[in-house]
Amino acid sequence: MISFHKLMLAFGAGIGSLYAQQAPSQVGPLVSDLYTADPSAHVFNGRIYIYPSHDVEADVQQDDEGGHFQMRDYHVYSMDKIGGKVTDHGIALDVKNVPWAEKQMWAPDVAFKNGTYYLYFPAKDREGVFRIGVATSTSPTGPFIAEPKPIPGSYSIDPAVFIDRDGTSYMYLGGIWGGQLQRWFRGSYDKSLMTDLGKGYENDPALNAKVAKMKGDMLTFDEPLRDVQILDEYGKPLLASDNKRRFFEGAWLHQFNGKYYFSYSTGDTHLLCYAEGTSPYGPFTYKGVIMNPVKGWTTHHSIVEFKGKWYLFYHDSAKSGKTHLRNMKVRELLRDKQGNIETITP
């Protein structure tokens, strides 16, 4: 894995130089004064709002559990057009104002319903267990007021909320290794499952992202979390050993031409992939790669339509050269005539 990773970093650096000459407006960071990652983009009132995590320097050694990702607050950004000025609306929520949380405010998401904006975020509680919290505001820029406790029954990381055309809301979540999804494999938290299920599980179905319908108040689940099943071209579940296609973290769902597109990161192979289905619950059939590896260890994205075009928001560490200090970027997302997403090489 290490040799592959180094190879892709070198490859990505060369490709990045080429694209910098051809299309500099597509590869520059959206924000340069702060390190921002995991951008969740939404269109509210005709304007793009972006909800990223806020990377900071941390005196913590890098490990497979992501201990060096010590984010403590969220900024909100907005722009009225792609390529236009990006406005920083300041801190929307700080970990010190979340009663149940201790640290590591990782990738968030936001949804709008009932005249209220809901900020969903993962953080570690006082026992070091990731939970999903929710905070509310009457403005897309915040400030957001956190609920006193995390969402009951929630765990792991990377919440993403999709509101279907009938108004039903669904939350997707999960991330293995540092995201702790594997620790819930047996139904309760098991700290001994450190990064994956381990030897002997390679030919078993891969760990899945989770999904649950939200209640009307958008503050709690309306049902227990269930698996998001990703199938291969033969209708079989992807296996744990299939690390170029299986789910790792960073779930996102969008709808296009009546179909549901579930996209995600493969983690240690650094790909953004997608699968297609006919229901928000799935199952989803694997279709291909959205984006090849960026410079840096993590890859995390969102997909949004704006003024008739589709865009991919993502991050890389090209500016800092450090895996935990990243910058968010945006590229147009293109499809062929069959609706298949064309692969982007960053």
Whether pLDDT at 336 is above 70: yes
Find the farthest-apart pair of alpha carbons in the chain and give their distance in angstroms, rounded. Answer: 51
Q: Look at the block and give the residue holding tokens 């900024």.
A: 75
What stretch of H or E contains 291? strand 284-291
For residue 196, the model assigns a pLDDT of 84
Q: Which of 38, 55, 109, 316 is catalytic?
A: 38
Whether pLDDT at 19 is above 50: no
Angle, alpha carbons 70-51-168 (nearest 5°) = 120
For residue 9, the model assigns a pLDDT of 38
204 annotated active-site: no
Cβ-based neighbours of 166, under 8 Å, separated by 6 or more: none
* Whether 311 contacts 333, CB under 8 Å: yes
Domains in the chain: boundaries:
2-333
Tell me the Ramachandran region of residue 147: left when phi exceeds 0, alpha when psi lies from -120 to 50, beta otherwise. beta
Angle, alpha carbons 169-327-330 (nearest 5°) = 60
What pLDDT digit, counting tens, does each position of 60-94 carry? Answer: 888 888 989 999 999 999 999 999 999 999 999 99
| Mean pLDDT value of segment 275-290 | 98
Residue in 307, 212, 197, 194 with CA at minimum distance from that of residue 253: 212
Whether pLDDT at 18 is above 50: no
Q: DSSP of 248-278, one letter per residue?
A: -EEEEEEEETTEEEEEEE-GGG--EEEEEES
Helix (H, G, I), strand (E, B) or coil at 65: coil
For residue 128, the model assigns a pLDDT of 97
Q: Which of 55, 249, 268, 276 is catalytic?
A: 249
Q: What's the DSSP call for residue 237?
A: B
What pLDDT digit, counting tens, does each position of 85-135 carry? Answer: 999 999 999 999 999 999 999 999 999 999 999 999 999 999 999 999 999
* Whether 330 contacts 312, CB under 8 Å: yes
| Mean pLDDT value of segment 239-250 | 97
- Just give the CATH number of 2-333: 2.115.10.20
Task: Specify the length of the chain in residues.
Answer: 346
342 annotated active-site: no
The chain-wide mean pLDDT, for the chain, equals 92
Q: Report strand pairing: 284-291 vs 230-231.
A: parallel
